[in-house]
Amino acid sequence: MKVAFVVQRYGTEIVGGAELHCRWVAEHLARRHEVEVLTTTATDYLTWRNALERGLSEVNGVAVRRFPVARERDIERFDPVANKVCFFEHTDEEERRWAEEHGPVCPELLAHLREHERDYDALIFFSYRYWTTYFGLQVAPHKSILVPTAEHDRVLYLRLFRPFYRLPAAIAFNSPEERILIERITGNENLPGEVVGTGIDRPPAIPVEEVAPRLDLLGDYLVYVGRIEPEKGCAVMIDHFLRWQRETRANVTLALFGRSTMTFSENAHVRLMGVVPDGEKLAAIARARALVMPSRHESLSMVVLEAWMMGRPVLVNGDCEVLRGQVLRADGGLYYRRYEEFAAALDLLMGEPALADRLGRQGGEYFEENYAWERIVEKYERLLAMATGGGGRG
């Protein structure tokens, strides 16, 4: 079977989010099928600036066909329309303008799909909110699979997406909460598809014993992994942690792994570790007391899965239905909604290491039962059968 993946950015330089999710799934399905990725030449999701060579290349054994973005995002045009459609009464035309300004506008990719869609047995689109998915999926919806990666935010409620979710032959939901949310918005409780999520690619070497001296992470520490920005809840997390540390005088470090777009004061207890190789990141997680995930908007947190894969518990923002649901199903951590709950959870995790270890083991068992790659691939095979069996709505 020949399968095309369509995603807004793609490559080893994209280290997280839906793009990494897409790459891992594409690489695993490529072991069974002929896979080609259709994407843009951009690497920066804020500007959509063309940065890579157009044309056909190969990434980890997968064929990748890149097309140039027609124009970069103009903040002076995008911000006003984004603010209007998210917070005020607006027209359908303003929603269409939002889609164009949000991007990435890539007419050549769309033209390729229209001209060559018969060459592919199935199409898999990642992330509902991007121009490439919204317009690309409409080319051949009857053989398209949508991986929405939808979060509970205002964009999801735009009118232009209500009929959109009824188009694909199947939907790969990241969590039961995401499925319930999308079905509620569309007014259809029978959308075709199933809850899939993703596996985690484990590097061959994870230097658990070497990572502490190499990164100077000695003693007790917590980890955060991901984009370090206020929108991910990082500013509140740091404030909560520093308040807890002042009140308890605990000798604990919060280690932040990832790229930072916000300013904060590093000190003995809050350290910016930057981007490190996957093996070092997983080794750091394995030695941590727990992983903290403060985001309120997630469709699936891959770093939570990584923590469970490494046998460590998680502390998540309970205002995120997806994260709270994952923790409750796995019994693999704790959740909080306000500072007092955050502080009580840290007291418990730091004061009772045996409990933290047990929660981590339970999370690991849940991960193996639900997110081992053989299970993920089985689910995608079922979705591909739906897409190639003529069960679509287009």
pLDDT (tens digit per residue) in 236-271? 999 999 999 999 999 999 999 998 988 888 788 999
Outline where the chain has alpha helix (H): 17-29, 75-87, 92-102, 107-116, 131-136, 176-186, 208-215, 234-248, 278-287, 302-309, 321-330, 339-351, 353-371, 373-388
Q: Any idea of the CA torsion for 127, 133, 134, 139, to the nearest 10 degrees? A: -150
Between the alpha carbon of residue 201 and those of residues 23, 207, 268, 274, the distances in Å are 10, 16, 32, 21
* DSSP character at residue 116: H
Between the alpha carbon of residue 243 and those of residues 164, 262, 342, 368, the distances in Å are 45, 19, 10, 36
Outline where 149-277 has alpha helix (H): 176-186, 208-215, 234-248
Which pLDDT score is estimated for 232? 94
The yes-or-no verdict on residue 391 having pLDDT over 70 is no
d(CA 71, CA 267): 41
Which pLDDT score is estimated for 161? 94
Which pLDDT score is estimated for 389? 86
Q: Which CATH number fits domain 2-199+373-388: 3.40.190.10, 3.40.640.10, 3.40.50.2000, 3.40.50.10190?
A: 3.40.50.2000
Which pLDDT score is estimated for 187? 85
The yes-or-no verdict on residue 143 having pLDDT over 90 is yes
Q: Which of 21, 6, 2 is nearest to 373 (CA)?
A: 21
Which pLDDT score is estimated for 267? 84
The yes-or-no verdict on residue 390 having pLDDT over 70 is no
pLDDT (tens digit per residue) in 39-95? 999 999 999 999 999 999 999 999 999 999 999 999 999 999 999 999 999 999 999
Which pLDDT score is estimated for 316? 98
Percent of the chain with pLDDT over 70: 99
Cβ burial, residue 232 (10 Å; 0-12/13-18/19+): buried
Retrieve residue 346's tokens.
Answer: 């840290």
Between 154 and 265, the more confident residue is 154
Which pLDDT score is estimated for 16? 76
CATH class of the domain defined by 208-370: alpha beta
Ordered by start, the domain boundaries in the chain are 2-199+373-388, 208-370
- Domains 2-199+373-388 and 208-370 belong to one CATH topology: yes
The yes-or-no verdict on residue 286 having pLDDT over 90 is yes
What is the model's pTM? Answer: 0.87
Between the alpha carbon of residue 229 and those of residues 42, 238, 300, the distances in Å are 21, 11, 18
Instruction: For residue 392, name the pLDDT band (cuts at 50, 70, 90).
Output: very low
Which pLDDT score is estimated for 151? 86
Between the alpha carbon of residue 86 and those of residues 40, 46, 81, the distances in Å are 26, 18, 8
d(CA 332, CA 144): 34
d(CA 362, CA 71): 48
Instruction: For residue 166, name the pLDDT band (cuts at 50, 70, 90).
Output: very high
Q: Which of 64, 65, 62 is nearest to 27 (CA)?
A: 62
Q: Which of 280, 294, 264 is nearest to 217 (CA)?
A: 280
Tell me the average pLDDT of the chain.
Answer: 94
